[in-house]
């Protein structure tokens, strides 16, 4: 029996499924219906459907209903218009906030706060120490509280932290603010992975992840333009005694906090609570998720799913992938303006020259995941993006081998390829965590581990950029790390392909019956659920 997780229609033949009593909270524990491996293909003995199951189970019919293609598109468009603008705008703001330090580096912050080269590297790394320290608590709390509200509350506080950077006068002050900035910003990507899985079908998730993540590219364009305008405006207006870099932090920080307030009050937490959907549309929006074999998420924390997370080889491959991919990204994020300025450009020219990288980033971050969506080959498309990034850094290193200033235009082309493809592999992996990790406790745990790996990479990355202004050694580190990331992504593709093949053969040999009604929403893990197949 082959399970197609990419179908538009949500249909299922009636089967002799066990009855699920949704009104059994007042019964004794012994009377509650238990789901056993015999009738559901799971090992969830002793867990009740009312507490252990997904919230969606109590909202939809046990038997699947058919959604015609036109209705499916209408519901998806409505979700897109009400959810993606919030996610895209916030991702733009968070990336602008993240690279504000890099803009400030060519606007005078290092001189005004008396930072040495080593201290500046640590102001980049400390952000990810805060991110790392709070990543698992964020994921645990997002299982306990509504994801949208939790993310919005963190956005408000991190905006205030960013604005507070304008008041720092020393290395110690910047380190404190940057630590808490990372701590609160760490909720965003983790929250967005969970939100994407709560609103979209499995085959829609990677491309939707690419859409909101691609606003990093818009942030490079908008952030570079704003930083240039502020820097030039302050330079030409000699009556202004306030430092330009301080204005940059205040403007970006307050904008972020105000956006967080709007997000808190107007972003829907799930299809069940969306006021802009009618009752029928809410049920259809949840029904669309049946094929994901995941639902909306259970708020019950399950230790057996944590244990399964740490016995699954995919967890370790994902963690190592995130570390190896993001060591280069961590360095580039903090040092990209100084890398460009090292070619002999002025501060204002550097800000302008950084902007085309955002255009390339937009094209790659949307184009490669769209290719993955059309070809139904997520991992291999991600490998292509990583190869493009390796080519870009190899081009920079090769042209600069004899003279660091040799063929500056060619080196800038290589730089744009690096910036454009630095996140494509990350987008694919975040999308597959959303799609390929079932069981809400397991999903939040894998999500946290992946983003801890992301933090470790970004924490190490700035420390590899110590041979300025040309950073030759850092370029070789980037080539090595991205090659490792490429191998790890290929390993994930191979393991999931072989596991799908094994499950198909086993299902055919054992004569696996049609899936019991409602089992999709029982919060089973991808290993428990015999009907689950991994997206490739």
3-state secondary structure 148-186: HHHHHHHHHHHHHHHHHHHHCCCHHHHHHHHHHHHHHHC
Neighbour tally for 244: CB within 10 Å: 21
Residue of 516, 527, 522, 518 whose CA lies nearest to 48 = 522
Residue of 220, 229, 235, 236 whose CA lies nearest to 251 = 229
What 3-state class would DSSP assign to 459?
Answer: helix
What 3-state class would DSSP assign to 21?
Answer: coil
What are 499-522's pLDDT values in tens digits?
Answer: 999 999 988 888 877 777 666 667
User: Does residue 57 contact residue 297 with C-beta atoms inside 8 Å?
Assistant: no
pLDDT, residue 50, reads 47
User: Does residue 477 contact residue 327 with C-beta atoms inside 8 Å?
Assistant: yes
pLDDT, residue 89, reads 94
**Which CATH class for the 302-509+523-535 domain?**
mainly alpha
Distance CA 411, CA 395 (A): 7
Record the pTM: 0.73
Kindly tell me the sign of the dihedral angle through the C-alpha atoms of 297, 298, 304, 307. Answer: positive
Distance CA 156, CA 276 (A): 24
Q: Where in the chain is the domain with CATH 1.20.1250.20?
A: 65-297, 302-509+523-535
pLDDT, residue 322, reads 93
What 3-state class would DSSP assign to 28?
Answer: coil
The CATH superfamily of 65-297 is MFS general substrate transporter like domains (1.20.1250.20)
pLDDT, residue 34, reads 38
Long-range contacts of 248-252 (CB under 8 A, 24+ apart): 248/100, 248/103, 248/104, 248/107, 249/100, 249/104, 249/162, 249/163, 249/165, 249/166, 250/163, 250/166, 251/226, 252/93, 252/96, 252/97, 252/100, 252/162, 252/163, 252/226
pLDDT, residue 441, reads 87
| Distances 18 to 47, 252, 292, 514, 518 between C-alpha atoms, Å | 15, 55, 21, 12, 9
pLDDT, residue 154, reads 95
All residue ranges of the chain with pLDDT < 50 are 1-4, 6-50, 52
pLDDT, residue 382, reads 92
pLDDT, residue 323, reads 94
């Amino acid at each position: 029996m082959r399970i197609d997780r990419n179908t538009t229609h949500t249909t299922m033949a009636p089967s002799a499924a066990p009855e699920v009593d949704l009104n059994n909270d007042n019964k004794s524990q012994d009377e509650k219906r238990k789901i056993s491996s015999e009738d559901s293909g799971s090992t969830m003995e002793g867990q009740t459907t009312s507490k252990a199951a997904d919230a969606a189970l109590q909202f939809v019919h046990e038997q699947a209903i058919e959604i015609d293609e036109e209705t499916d598109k209408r519901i998806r468009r409505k979700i897109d218009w009400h959810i993606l603008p919030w996610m895209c705008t916030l991702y733009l703001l968070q990336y602008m906030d993240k690279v504000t330090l890099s803009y400030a580096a060519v606007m005078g912050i290092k001189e005004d706060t008396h930072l040495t080269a080593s201290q500046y590297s640590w102001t980049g790394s400390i952000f990810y120490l805060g991110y790392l320290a709070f990543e698992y608590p964020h994921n645990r709390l997002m299982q306990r509280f509504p994801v949208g509200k939790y993310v919005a509350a963190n956005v408000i506080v991190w905006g205030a932290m960013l604005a507070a950077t304008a008041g720092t006068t020393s290395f110690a002050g910047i380190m404190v603010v940057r630590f808490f900035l990372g701590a609160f910003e760490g909720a965003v990507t983790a929250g967005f992975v969970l939100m994407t899985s709560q609103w979209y079908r499995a085959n829609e998730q990677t491309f939707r992840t690419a859409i909101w993540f691609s606003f990093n590219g818009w942030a490079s364009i908008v952030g570079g333009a704003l930083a240039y305008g502020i820097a030039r405006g302050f330079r030409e207006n000699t009556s202004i005694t306030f430092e330009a870099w301080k204005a940059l932090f205040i403007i970006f920080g307050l904008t972020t906090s105000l956006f967080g307030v709007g997000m808190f009050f107007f972003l829907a937490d799930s299809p069940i609570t969306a006021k802009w959907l009618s009752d029928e549309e809410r049920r259809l929006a949840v029904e669309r998720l049946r094929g994901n074999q995941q639902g909306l998420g259970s708020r019950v924390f399950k230790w057996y799913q944590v244990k399964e997370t740490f016995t699954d080889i995919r967890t370790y491959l994902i963690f190592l992938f995130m570390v190896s991919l993001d060591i280069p990204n961590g360095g580039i994020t903090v040092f990209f303006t100084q890398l460009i300025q090292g070619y002999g450009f002025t501060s204002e020219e550097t800000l302008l020259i950084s902007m085309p990288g955002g255009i390339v980033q937009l094209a790659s971050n949307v184009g490669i995941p769209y290719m993955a969506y059309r070809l139904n080959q997520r991992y291999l498309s991600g490998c292509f993006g990583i190869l493009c990034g390796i080519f870009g850094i190899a081009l920079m290193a090769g042209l600069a081998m004899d003279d660091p200033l040799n063929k500056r235009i060619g080196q800038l082309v290589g730089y744009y390829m690096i910036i454009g493809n630095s996140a494509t592999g990350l987008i694919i992996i975040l999308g597959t965590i959303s799609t390929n990790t079932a069981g809400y406790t397991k999903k939040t745990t894998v999500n946290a581990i992946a983003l801890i790996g992301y933090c470790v990479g970004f924490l190490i990355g700035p420390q590899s950029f110590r041979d300025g202004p040309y950073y030759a050694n850092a370029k070789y580190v980037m080539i090595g790390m991205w090659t490792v990331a490429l191998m790890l992504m290929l390993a994930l593709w191979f393991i999931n392909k072989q596991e799908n093949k094994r499950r198909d053969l086993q299902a055919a040999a054992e004569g696996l019956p049609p899936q019991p009604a409602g089992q999709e929403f029982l919060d089973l893990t991808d290993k428990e659920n015999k009907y689950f197949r991994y997206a490739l």
